[in-house]
């Protein structure tokens, strides 16, 4: 009988913090500028330049630590990690090894069996990002863009507490939501503002010792993470079944091929010669600072769900979906505050919004329509200025371009026709043109009236109130 294996997974998650300026200098962190336009002597490692810590980085790191049940290190330090690479202008990265800012935390995730499980967080540390190397095939040379050099990161190192891809995804979603709620990062895996390295080993079920682990890099989506975990689990089990050993190494996942390859083994692991950075003074987190950050912590999902239940009276299912995305919860609350109709706002989010997100592969963080415009759209339908199918049409445009629905309805002439005479004339024409359906209706086929309503709406280019059409048809028939 085949042996049973257990997968043991720990994650190292890098999150790019949403500060305006870099971690040790005043350069902008904005994404997408021309190469080497957001640089200075500090973030290009010029001789004689010195780093000065951006306080916002520290505050975000502490906020994430508090939200993940960590102990905050009251006397923390930065250390230098020494290695030579051209994207790293000083040839050392300023990071934290000995006294990281947060330690011994954890978050709770829901397991597949419906239970709750705590995933431990070993530590969270602050560090600087490196520049970006670009290979120019035409000139056969490599170029460096230092715009990203010095962009602040936190690295969240979990304990090896996860046992499946599902748990990993649940953990990542939990982290992402917490960090998004804090506004500390947008956490987009595709754009690299959230990056996860997977440490994975397998062992025979019931074994006390961990197996040899590998570290998997280059995982750019939840799907890639799931696939890489499955792939690596199988690869390691195959090795063990064949009587071979797993080599401790770093591997790179190729999601298009669905396989990984070894980057470097433990034998060629570098000695980073970590030591405290003498250019930066130790960080002393005072009681006042800690209390200030604690007091500023936003309402997280659990409290939000509770409040929604009490305040808005919308279904639990809706609450779960809406609070599952920071951006959706923001839209919901702001639109509800304007129009005072939580149920209707929720319906738009649960219905059309989710449908279009799925259809057009849009992430919740990228939703473009404003809560103001959604409130206006609701007001337009309430006042019967447009009917519900026109409203859906308008919403699609809002979803893409965040148009002002009032202006859009006027410009495109989408108002419902309220002229009784025009409606009566159209209905009469439809009755005359569809004798068979009229016949069916009169013979008791109630459904036939639906077809006639549809024909009338079509003839009026959708700009009629379906209820009024229905009433008119019944009256004339």
Partner 1 sequence: MTITDMTALQLAEAIRAGRTTAVEAAEAMLANIEAKDKKYNCYVTVDAEGALTQAREVQARIEAGELDGALAGVPVAIKDNMCTAGLLTTCSSKILYNFVPTYTAEAVRNLQRAGAVILGKTNMDEFAMGSTTETSAYGATRNPRNPEHVPGGSSGGSAAAVAAEECFFALGSDTGGSIRQPAAYCGTVGMKPTYGTVSRYGLIAYGSSLDQIGPLTKDVADCAAVLEIIASHDAKDSTSIERQDTDFTSVLTDDVRGMRIGVPNDYFGDGLDGEVKEAVLAAAKTLEEKGAVVERFDLSLVEYAIPTYYTIAAAEASSNLERFDGIKYGYRTGEYEGLHNMYRKSRSEGFGAEVKRRIMLGSFVLSSGYYDAYYLKALRVKALIKRAFDDAFARYDVILGPVAPTTAPRLGESLADPIKMYLGDIYTIAVNLAGLPAISLPCGMDGNGLPIGLQLIGDCFQEKKLIQTAYTYEKARGAFPAAAGEVE
Binding site for partner 1 (CB under 8 A): 41, 44-53, 80, 82, 84, 86, 89-92, 144, 271, 273-275, 278-281
Q: How far is CA 322 from CA 49, 294, 317, 353, in A?
A: 47, 25, 9, 11
Q: Nearest approach, Cβ of 211 to partner 1 (angstroms)?
A: 24
Q: Nearest approach, Cβ of 36 to partner 1 (angstroms)?
A: 11
Q: Nearest approach, Cβ of 61 to partner 1 (angstroms)?
A: 17
Cβ contact 213:248 at 8 Å = yes
Q: Nearest approach, Cβ of 91 to partner 1 (angstroms)?
A: 4
Torsion angles phi and psi, residue 54, rounded to 5: -75, 115
- Which of residues 91 and 389 has its CB atom nearest to partner 1 in the complex? 91
For residue 135, count CB atoms less than 10 angstroms from its CB and return exposed for 0-12, middle for 13-18, buried for 19 or more.
exposed
Q: How far apart (Å, rounded) are the C-alpha atoms in residues 276 and 94? A: 9
- Which of residues 279 and 410 has its CB atom nearest to partner 1 in the complex? 279
- Which of residues 49 and 370 has its CB atom nearest to partner 1 in the complex? 49
- Which of residues 53 and 237 has its CB atom nearest to partner 1 in the complex? 53
Torsion angles phi and psi, residue 219, rounded to 5: -110, 110
Q: Nearest approach, Cβ of 274 to partner 1 (angstroms)?
A: 8
- Which of residues 32 and 47 has its CB atom nearest to partner 1 in the complex? 47
- Which of residues 22 and 376 has its CB atom nearest to partner 1 in the complex? 22
Q: How far is CA 319 from CA 74, 114, 228, 364, 440, in A?
A: 37, 18, 32, 15, 45
- Which of residues 221 and 270 has its CB atom nearest to partner 1 in the complex? 270
Torsion angles phi and psi, residue 107, rounded to 5: -130, 155
Q: Nearest approach, Cβ of 278 to partner 1 (angstroms)?
A: 4
- Which of residues 97 and 459 has its CB atom nearest to partner 1 in the complex? 97
- Which of residues 24 and 253 has its CB atom nearest to partner 1 in the complex? 24
DSSP state of 350: I
Nearest of 160, 241, 169 to residue 201 by alpha carbon: 160
Residues paired with 108 in a beta bridge: 118
Q: Nearest approach, Cβ of 52 to partner 1 (angstroms)?
A: 5
The structure tokens listed for 10 are: 């720990």
- Which of residues 47 and 421 has its CB atom nearest to partner 1 in the complex? 47
DSSP state of 256: T
Q: Nearest approach, Cβ of 151 to partner 1 (angstroms)?
A: 19
193 Cβ contact partners less than 8 Å away, ≥ 6 residues apart: 15, 16, 185, 186, 187
Number of residues in the chain: 477
Q: How far apart (Å, rounded) are the C-alpha atoms in residues 349 and 351? A: 6
DSSP state of 184: S
The structure tokens listed for 291 are: 């209390």
Residue-wise DSSP of 274-341: -EE-TTSPPEE--HHHHHHHHHH----HHHHHHHHHHHH---HHHHHHHHTSHHHHHHHHHHHHHH--
- Which of residues 47 and 115 has its CB atom nearest to partner 1 in the complex? 47
Q: How far apart (Å, rounded) are the C-alpha atoms in residues 357 and 103? A: 37
Q: Nearest approach, Cβ of 353 to partner 1 (angstroms)?
A: 47
Q: Nearest approach, Cβ of 40 to partner 1 (angstroms)?
A: 9
| Counts of helices then strands in the chain (DSSP H, E) | 16, 16
Q: How far apart (Å, rounded) are the C-alpha atoms in residues 448 and 444? A: 9
DSSP state of 37: S
DSSP state of 20: S
Q: Nearest approach, Cβ of 22 to partner 1 (angstroms)?
A: 14
Match 């030591």 to its residue by tokens. 275
């Amino acid at each position: 009988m085949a042996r049973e294996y257990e997968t043991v997974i720990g994650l190292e998650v890098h999150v790019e913090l949403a500060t305006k300026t870099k971690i040790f200098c005043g350069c902008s962190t904005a994404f997408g500028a021309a190469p080497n336009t957001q640089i200075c002597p500090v973030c290009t490692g010029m001789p004689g330049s010195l780093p000065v810590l951006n306080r916002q980085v520290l505050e975000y790191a502490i906020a994430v630590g508090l939200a993940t049940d960590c102990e905050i290190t009251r006397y923390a330090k930065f250390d230098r990690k020494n290695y030579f690479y051209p994207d790293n202008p000083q040839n050392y990265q300023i990071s934290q090894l000995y006294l990281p800012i947060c330690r011994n935390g954890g978050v709770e995730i829901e397991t597949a069996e419906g239970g709750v499980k705590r995933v431990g967080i070993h530590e969270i540390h602050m560090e600087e990002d490196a520049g970006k190397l670009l290979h120019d095939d035409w000139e056969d040379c490599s170029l460096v863009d230092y715009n990203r050099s010095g962009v602040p990161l936190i690295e969240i190192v979990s304990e090896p507490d996860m046992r499946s891809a599902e748990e990993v995804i649940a953990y990542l979603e939990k982290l992402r939501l917490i960090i998004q709620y804090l506004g500390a990062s947008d956490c987009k895996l595709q754009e690299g503002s959230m990056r996860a390295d997977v440490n994975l080993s397998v062992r025979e079920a019931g074994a006390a010792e961990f197996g040899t682990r590998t570290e998997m890099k280059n995982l750019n989506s939840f799907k890639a993470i799931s696939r890489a975990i499955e792939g690596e689990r199988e690869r390691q089990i195959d090795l063990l079944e064949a009587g071979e050993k797993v080599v401790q190494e770093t591997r790179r996942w190729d999601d298009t091929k669905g396989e990984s390859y070894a980057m470097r083994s433990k034998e060629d692991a570098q000695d980073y010669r970590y030591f405290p950075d003498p250019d930066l003074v130790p960080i002393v987190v005072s009681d006042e600072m800690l209390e200030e950050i604690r007091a500023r912590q936003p309402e997280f999902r659990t409290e939000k769900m509770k409040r929604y239940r009490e305040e808005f009276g919308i279904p639990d299912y809706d609450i779960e979906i809406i609070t599952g995305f920071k951006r959706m919860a923001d839209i919901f609350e702001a639109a509800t505050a304007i129009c005072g109709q939580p149920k209707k706002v929720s319906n738009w989010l649960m219905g059309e919004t989710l449908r279009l997100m799925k259809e057009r592969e849009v992430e919740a963080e990228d939703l473009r329509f404003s809560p103001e415009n959604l409130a206006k759209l609701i007001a337009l339908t309430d006042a019967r200025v447009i009917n519900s199918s026109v409203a859906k049409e308008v919403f699609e445009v809002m979803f893409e371009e965040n148009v002002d629905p009032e202006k859009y309805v006027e410009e495109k002439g989408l108002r419902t026709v309220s002229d009784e005479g025009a409606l009566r004339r159209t209905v009469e024409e439809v009755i005359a043109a569809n004798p068979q359906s009229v016949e069916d209706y009169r013979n008791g086929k109630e459904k036939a009236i639906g077809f006639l309503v549809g024909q009338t709406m079509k003839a009026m280019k959708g700009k009629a109130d379906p209820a009024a059409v229905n009433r008119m048809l019944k009256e004339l028939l």
